Amino acid sequence: MTIKRALVCGAGGFIGSHLVRRLKRDGFWVRGVDLKTPEFAASEADEFVVGDLGEARVCREAIDDGLNEVYQLAADMGGAGYVFTGENDAAIMHNSALINLNVLETCRAGGAATIFYSSSACIYPQENQASADEPVTAEDSAYPANPDSEYGWEKLFSERLFASYARNYGMRVRIARFHNVFGEEGTWMGGREKAPAALCRKVAMAPRDGEIEIWGDGGQTRSFLYIDECLDGVRRLVDSSFQGPVNIGSAEMVSIDQLARMVMDIAGKPLRLRHVKGPLGVRGRRSDNRLIAKRLAWAPCQPLSVGLEKTYRWIERQVQQRAQSADPGAATPLHA
């Protein structure tokens, strides 16, 4: 039996490093490529190229014609504190567009069989997400386009880029729009972390009778998908005949205050919430899973609390280890 070969672009990042593990478990030979190797555990990839996918030379080194599947996850990326302040807009658009242009063109020249692209819920029009209760994220509501961040606009451009290559060059492309993926071994400090990791860190660090800061009034809503379920959705999409774009997310919507309380329950710490100004994004967002249920007969089924418990325990250990270590990195700001 021939072993299938896969490339994971962004294999040093959160989702990419988990995807490498998943593909190995599924019997693939895997090459990873990223600016860096994974931060929290050694990569399980058979080969790992450290390099900048914005450079055509690195793309040629990583992409060869023997690849059955290419997963393009590399992006200039972060949570609200990175994406919504406006300070990183030019870098986000330039870096991510360049990666996508280079990876796709090299795949075309090299004849890779299937290419998966990770887009984002951030492509949806902001006016459809002005309500915390009834956000609209059906896939066909993406146009007329009006994302609330340059990160979202770049994702939309790149979705169209991948779809154009499929149309014009007959490439087998699959596109997913991820909605807030979280889990162990994700960024939990430093400014690029997302809400679940940031709240787990704040709760783990707070004294028992203390308080934690919440950006905004805490009434903004989101849905969060545990990493293993995200990868189930990705693998199912790649194996299917459906090109997408399709949402891969959870339909369980919570407010940020509710999320904070869930973390406090897990930790057994009833802390006070202090609401402060901060970058927020849209008022409400939840994955609309009707299309993925119809086309792939799939939906995540695990409640948010299950993945959150695992994530909290992992972040709690990181906080404890950091406090005990004399690592000079301990001077790095933890960020709000």
The correct pick among 28, 178, 188, 215 for binding ligand NAD (CB under 6 A) is 178
Distance, CA of 232 to CA of 249 (rounded, Å): 11
Binding status of residue 95 toward ligand NAD by CB under 6 A: yes
For the beta carbon of residue 279, count every other beta carbon within 10 angstroms.
17
By CB under 6 A, how many residues form the interface with ligand NAD? Answer: 25
Distance of CA 19 to the CA centre of its chain: 11
Based on CB atoms, which residue is closest to ligand NAD, 73 or 237?
A: 73
Spell out, one character per residue from 65 to 84, where the chain touches ligand NAD: x when CB under 6 A holds, - when not: --------xxxxx-------
Which ranges in the chain belong to alpha helices (H)? 14-25, 56-62, 80-83, 89-110, 150-169, 195-205, 227-239, 256-267, 290-296, 304-324
The correct pick among 6, 28, 54, 92 for binding ligand NAD (CB under 6 A) is 54
User: Nearest distance from residue 152's CB to ligand NAD, in Å?
Assistant: 10
The correct pick among 5, 6, 7, 16 for binding ligand NAD (CB under 6 A) is 16
User: Nearest distance from residue 170's CB to ligand NAD, in Å?
Assistant: 24
Based on CB atoms, which residue is closest to ligand NAD, 100 or 128?
A: 100
User: Nearest distance from residue 10's CB to ligand NAD, in Å?
Assistant: 4
Binding status of residue 62 toward ligand NAD by CB under 6 A: no
CB-based contact 315:204 (threshold 8 Å) = yes
Based on CB atoms, which residue is closest to ligand NAD, 220 or 271?
A: 220
The correct pick among 30, 97, 99, 214 for binding ligand NAD (CB under 6 A) is 99
User: Nearest distance from residue 110's CB to ligand NAD, in Å?
Assistant: 17
Binding status of residue 181 toward ligand NAD by CB under 6 A: yes
Binding status of residue 196 toward ligand NAD by CB under 6 A: no
For residue 116, list its beta bridge partners: 71, 174
User: Nearest distance from residue 311's CB to ligand NAD, in Å?
Assistant: 12
List own/partner pairs for 287-290 with CB under 8 A and 24 or more apart: 287/121, 287/137, 287/179, 287/223, 287/225, 287/247, 287/248, 287/249, 287/250, 287/251, 288/136, 288/137, 288/138, 288/139, 288/247, 288/251, 289/247, 289/249, 289/251, 290/138
Binding status of residue 118 toward ligand NAD by CB under 6 A: yes
Binding status of residue 35 toward ligand NAD by CB under 6 A: yes
Where does this chain touch ligand NAD (CB under 6 A) — which range of 49-57, 137-145, 200-208, 300-308? 49-57
Q: Which residues form the catalytic set?
A: 151
Distance, CA of 304 to CA of 200 (rounded, Å): 14
User: Nearest distance from residue 89's CB to ligand NAD, in Å?
Assistant: 15
CA atoms in the 13 A half-sphere facing the CB of 273: 17
CB-based contact 165:308 (threshold 8 Å) = no
Distance, CA of 150 to CA of 126 (rounded, Å): 12
Residues that bind ligand NAD (CB under 6 A): 10, 12-16, 34-36, 52-54, 73-77, 95, 99, 118, 120, 178, 180-181, 194
